[in-house]
Amino acid sequence: MDRPAFSNPSPAGPRGVRTRSTRRRGVAAALAAAGAISLALSGCGTSASPSAGPTAQAVDPASAKGASGSLSICGGRDSVGLYKGTVDAFMKANPGITAKYIVLGATTDDARTQAVQRLQAKSGECDLFLTDVTWTPEFASQGWLQDMTKVTDAVKGTLIPSTVATTQYKGKSWATPYYTNAGLLYYAKDKVAKPETWKQVYAEAAKAPGNGLVYQAKQYEGLTVNFLELLYSAGGDVIDGQGNVKIDSPETRKVLDFMASGVKNGSADRAVLTYEENSTRLAYESGKYGYERNWPNVYGQLNATPLKGTFGVAPLPSFDGSSKGSGVLGGWNLAISAFSSNPGAAVAFVNFESSPEWQKHVAMDYSQAPAGEAAYSDPEVLAKMPFAQELLVSVKGAKPRPVSPVYAQISEAINKNVHAVLAGDSSTEDAVKKMAEQIKAAQASF
Ligand code: GLC
């Protein structure tokens, strides 16, 4: 079968300052280094100890007025052109500011590694960072961001509350929402049934070679999300509200066994072990699959292929019908770097992207899920995105990932061990024990 080009499941490139073989020591060293950097920061009010909570320079909303000069926005791959599109529309509306978008990496992991490298070096290259919703506690606690509470408070009445929550850490907002995200299942209407439960999806997918499911099971953040979607739907959890690790559970074992047998029996093609979002999309576009788990942006992209009209789009189902379906809350925010020399222009950009008017374009022109709530019931949006109302339900029902300054390490503990089980390199039992142990070690390191 023809396959799109895949990236290596074990990236050889830099993974922050950690090493695989000395993971525990690596995490401690990384945090010590980051702590030392945070101590060394001057002029941006960084707290002496990360755990004491961040205090930082607060952005003045009035600084946007008459802002001029250049502005760099840095983030991940611009898969549907939203970032460039926002920059162009912003410059039209603000002729005194020259803005540009700088791509930091293909996946969220790559983008985070590159953002962290710049921030550790106190680089002023990026005024604004496009930050994944899980990064806020880490970036804020390291003193890498300016306090955006006043800017975000000014627009928060128009935004979906869960999106605002992802910008907050220790009572302040460190970013402003750009767009939100919730996983969806795309399915080939002529081949497979509408998704009702994950069990049914996997059973349908195994029935015929053209029915298979494609999803993101490369070892990276996307796999954490794909695994948690099933775990949350099966009633499991990672960490409870008190910070207790809950992942060593019957639900985790059940979901891992289920996903691993799906790879073995052909419900999911083994190639998923190398797929991130884009390769998943390309695989489904080959027409050789029945189901695709991906984000809302794929709706617009699929409609531009010969598969237009052949697929349905459904919210993520429950695991087996005994508990309700639940997605994982995704999305991206915009955060002003502590090292930006043009925060006024950055605020102007944030005001532009978070306005109800631009939030409509986020959905209409780019098929992304707006953070602004009114867009979902706007007739122009509904014409372009007929499932907007269902998407809003999915977004509102989506559960956040663990909130922690060491989220990256927690996530790696999950995706590394889940990947090993799916690849047939680890037993479920070993993986569950290791996940719990490594998550506790990550928590203890902060
Ligand atoms: C999407 C989501 C983001 C998530 C990532 C995982 O970009 O918006 O929150 O972390 O996918 O690959």
What pLDDT score does 53 carry? 54
**Binding site membership of 353 for ligand 1 (Cβ less than 6 Å):** no
**What is the Cβ-side half-sphere exposure of residue 157, based on CA atoms within 13 angstroms?**
2
**Binding site membership of 294 for ligand 1 (Cβ less than 6 Å):** no
Domain ranges of the chain: 48-181+329-397, 184-328+406-444
Dihedral angle computed from the Cα positions of residues 158, 163, 165 and 167, in that order, rounded to the nearest 10 degrees: -100
Measuring CA to CA, which residue among 180, 175, 181 is closest to residue 135? 175
- Topology of domain 184-328+406-444 in CATH is D-Maltodextrin-Binding Protein; domain 2 (3.40.190)
CATH superfamily of 48-181+329-397: Periplasmic binding protein-like II (3.40.190.10)
**Binding site membership of 143 for ligand 1 (Cβ less than 6 Å):** no
What pLDDT score does 431 carry? 98
Is the model's pLDDT at 305 over the cut of 90?
yes
Domains 48-181+329-397 and 184-328+406-444 share a fold: yes
Do residues 105 and 76 touch, judged by C-beta distance below 8 A? yes
pLDDT per residue over 8-33, tens digit each?
223 333 333 333 333 333 333 343 33
**Binding site membership of 130 for ligand 1 (Cβ less than 6 Å):** no
Task: Count the residues in the chain.
Answer: 446
**Binding site membership of 221 for ligand 1 (Cβ less than 6 Å):** yes
In this structure, the residue with its CA closest to atom 4 of ligand 1 is 330
- Dig out the tokens for 346 from the structure: 């950055």
Q: How far apart are CA 389 and CA 391, in angstroms?
A: 5
In this structure, the residue with its CA closest to atom 9 of ligand 1 is 330
pLDDT per residue over 213-241, tens digit each?
999 999 999 999 999 999 999 999 999 99
pLDDT per residue over 110-147, tens digit each?
999 999 999 999 999 999 999 999 999 999 999 999 99
The pTM for the full model equals 0.89
